[in-house]
Amino acid sequence: MEKDWEKIFTTSQPYQAEVARQVLEEAGIQAVVINKKDSSYLAFGEAEVYVQQDDVIRAKQLIKNLEY
């Protein structure tokens, strides 16, 4: 990742990361999901959501309000 991106959310369920990304993008925040789940052993790894540093505080507030 570029140096001006920061991880704001980590989950073992990739669909939750995609939901978070979609919520952030609907709020005008550019977000990226990096899926680090092992393709052979799905019990290992996580999905991470990154946003630009300027959007971190607002993005964390939006993510905090999500219910899965």
Q: Map out the domains of the chain as residue ranges.
A: 5-64
Q: What class, spelled out in words, does domain 5-64 have in CATH? A: alpha beta
Q: What is the pLDDT of residue 44?
A: 78
Q: Is 34 helix (H, G, I), strand (E, B) or coil?
A: strand
Do residues 59 and 24 touch, judged by C-beta distance below 8 A? yes
- Alpha-carbon distance 47 to 38, whole Å? 10
CA distance 22 to 20: 5
Name the token pair of 64. Answer: 């905090």
List, run by run, the mean pLDDT of 10-residue segments along the chain (68 residues): 88 93 97 84 83 96 84
